[in-house]
Structure 1
Amino acid sequence: MNVMLKKPLKTLALMGAALTLAGGVASQAVASDWTPSRAVEFIAPANPGGGWDTLVRTTSNVIRTENLADQNFAAINVPGGGGAVAWAQIARDNRNDHKLFATSPPIILVPLAGTSRFNHTHFTPVARLITDYSIVLVPQNSPYQSINDLFAAIGENPRISVGGGSAAGSMDHISIAGAAAAAGLNAASVNYIAFSGGGEAMTNLLGGHVDAVITGAGEAMAQLQGGELRALGVSAPERIPGLDVPTYKEQGLDYTFDIWRGVMAPKDISEDALRYYEDLFARMMETDDWKAATERLGWLDAYQNSEEFGAFLDLQLEQFRSVLGELGLLRN
């Protein structure tokens, strides 16, 4: 089981990296004459502090500070169900040209696990923006000094818990399960605890309610700089600049996992509005403020336009279907 599980995850990471390298920005988007007539609701489908929230607030701030739009992009948190609550609300508002939401692998994984009836095909891809990586955190006083220490402890005591900000069977769960499989453990035996966003997961880690947390490297920066938490490993193929954390590979685990993040819109958004947003995000990624933000957060630019992003999502569906099948979590 472990060998079969590791292969699709490794393939997934390599495919994402290849698409990142292949994607340009300036030539990908076509400008539109349409512009928003009121504030744009920009939804993070989780509580504040997680990856979706960080993406929404970072992009909204850059759009404002770089004067890229006449209307405000209002960050709104809609937590619940690993994204399912927000997706249901957005699906009911399927013709709204003034609504966007942040997205990442859970838009594929949560429906496959059977906890949402809405998947990526019920929405319109606008643009893929960045790639982030998973990072495993423990409190400063934790006995675990490396990712192998943690997995050795889990092998001896399956009650040791790893929290994450996505639902069971979703992104954080898949990421830690794949790493455990690479370490020789039964991936399905990892005691994963789901929280409503990375911020809540880290709060529970600091409160001693879980033994470790897996989250996005970008959203962990502030906590690591504050000195309350330590990082055991990161799922990147090489060390992330500005984040002195050893990769899994450095610690003997042949495993990487990349977390793409992007923007989607309601299903029946107008073509003019779609072209406007597609062009807006392409221009945003060329700005100095965006480049400074991605460097600070350890993000890698991975732009795809709407059509490319849609094709990428279809490929992700088939790959994640295989992964969830190996974990015994596939429901759809």
Structure 2
Amino acid sequence: MTAQVLNEEGMIKENIGVVNKSGGGGAVGWAYVAGFEGNPHKLFVSSPPIVLIPLNGQSEYGHEDFTPLSNLIADYAAFAVREDAKWDNLNELFEDMKKDPESITVVGASAPGSMDHIQFVQIAKAAGVDIKKIKYVSDQEGGALTQLLNGSVDVYSTGVAETVEQVKAGKIKVLGVTSEERLEGEVLEDFPTAIEQGIDETFINWRGFFGPADMDPAAVDFYEKKFKELSDSDAFAEIRDQFGWDEMYLNNEEYKQFLNEQKKDIKSLLDELGISAN
């Protein structure tokens, strides 16, 4: 989508090729780019897994091995249960988890120690749940929602956009989202935040662009300006609104500082869970 807007709005004249290298929560893609040190034409989009996955030992490359160019958007997590579940809000869920955390199973599409797991853990910890006892199962084959609907698991930790159609269909309900304020848009505006339920914590699924290590400063400056132009454009604002994303532009220096802070916070969580590899 970003490549399309950059081209269609004339921000970048050259055609931008997009290649999907799936696997490892993004690790396959960024490992590929790591081999193009200094090349200004090999970029990739990443999100919290570029911090999480190296910390839990599943990738030899972390954000420090690349050039953060610009962050563009903030997305958020949603915690959903079946429509007929006994919980109607996060506090009811977490009260039961405090009493018997292992009696409730949480499913996500990412591996243990990666995003769907950690976004739930971060909010649960703030609510007073013993995070070491949270029962999290990973379904990386696309079956997490099915597990929720057929009763194999109790809670689905996912992205906000992944819940909308099932909420419309009356199959699930969202107990809470991890944004600071309620999101805008049909259905989204009905999802309560963790904060408004008295849980003083958020989780941002940020997304931005990276390049290989040792990029020329002139190339970094070029991309910063182009991504800022993209972020400020009406065309990209429409895309953000369509998916319920917030604007979160960070330039190169701001992005580096943000990523370092993220690493510190996430490592503390992984250490507490006993799954940090560093």
Identify the TM-score tier after normalising by the shorter chain.
Answer: 0.7 to 0.9
Quick one: distance in 2 between partners of 1:203 and 1:68? 41
Identify if the C-alpha distance between structure 1 residues 279 and 91 changes in structure 2 by more than 3 Å, giving closer, same or farther: same
Q: Is the 8 A contact 1:218 1:299 kept in 2?
A: no
Identify if the C-alpha distance between structure 1 residues 286 and 163 changes in structure 2 by more than 3 Å, giving closer, same or farther: same
| Alpha-carbon distance, 1:89 to partner | 2.0
Match of 1:281 in 2: 227
Identify if the C-alpha distance between structure 1 residues 94 and 287 changes in structure 2 by more than 3 Å, giving closer, same or farther: same
Q: Tell whether 2:267 aligns with 1:324.
A: no
- Counterpart among 147, 155, 161 of residue 105 in structure 2: 161
Quick one: distance in 2 between partners of 1:227 and 1:61? 34
Quick one: distance in 1 between partners of 2:11 and 2:143? 32
Runs of 4+ in 1 over 6 A off after TM superposition: none
Quick one: distance in 1 between partners of 2:82 and 2:93? 12
Match of 2:72 in 1: 129
Quick one: distance in 1 between partners of 2:109 and 2:164? 16
| Alpha-carbon distance, 1:115 to partner | 1.6
Unpaired stretches in structure 1, ≥5 consecutive residues: 1-57
Q: Is the 8 A contact 1:129 1:303 kept in 2?
A: yes
Identify if the C-alpha distance between structure 1 residues 293 and 118 changes in structure 2 by more than 3 Å, giving closer, same or farther: same
SS at match of 2:183: coil
| Alpha-carbon distance, 1:116 to partner | 1.3
- Counterpart among 95, 98, 106 of residue 49 in structure 2: 106
Q: TM-score, normalised by structure 1?
A: 0.73
Unpaired stretches in structure 2, ≥5 consecutive residues: none
Match of 1:257 in 2: 203
Match of 1:172 in 2: 116
SS at match of 1:76: coil
Match of 1:188 in 2: 132
Quick one: distance in 1 between partners of 2:274 and 2:5? 41
| Alpha-carbon distance, 1:236 to partner | 1.8
Identify if the C-alpha distance between structure 1 residues 64 and 141 changes in structure 2 by more than 3 Å, giving closer, same or farther: farther
Q: Tell whether 2:198 aligns with 1:266.
A: no
Q: Please provide the CA RMSD for this pair.
A: 2.6
Quick one: distance in 2 between partners of 1:73 and 1:204? 38
Match of 2:237 in 1: 291
Q: TM-score, normalised by structure 2?
A: 0.85
Per-residue Cα deviation, 1:62-99 (whole angstroms, up to 9, x for no partner)? 32442322334344333322332222222123344322
SS at match of 1:73: coil
Q: 2:53 is matched by which residue type in structure 1?
A: V
Q: Is the 8 A contact 2:101 2:133 kept in 1?
A: no
How many pairs does the alignment contain?
A: 274
| Alpha-carbon distance, 1:245 to partner | 0.7
What's the % identity of the aligned pairs?
40
Within a 5 Å distance, the mapping from 1:83-98 to structure 2 comes to: 83-98=26-41
Quick one: distance in 2 between partners of 1:319 and 1:151? 22
| Alpha-carbon distance, 1:109 to partner | 1.7
Match of 1:144 in 2: 87
Q: Tell whether 2:265 aligns with 1:311.
A: no
Quick one: distance in 1 between partners of 2:80 and 2:182? 16
| Alpha-carbon distance, 1:221 to partner | 3.9
Match of 1:231 in 2: 174
| Alpha-carbon distance, 1:309 to partner | 1.0
Identify if the C-alpha distance between structure 1 residues 136 and 102 changes in structure 2 by more than 3 Å, giving closer, same or farther: same
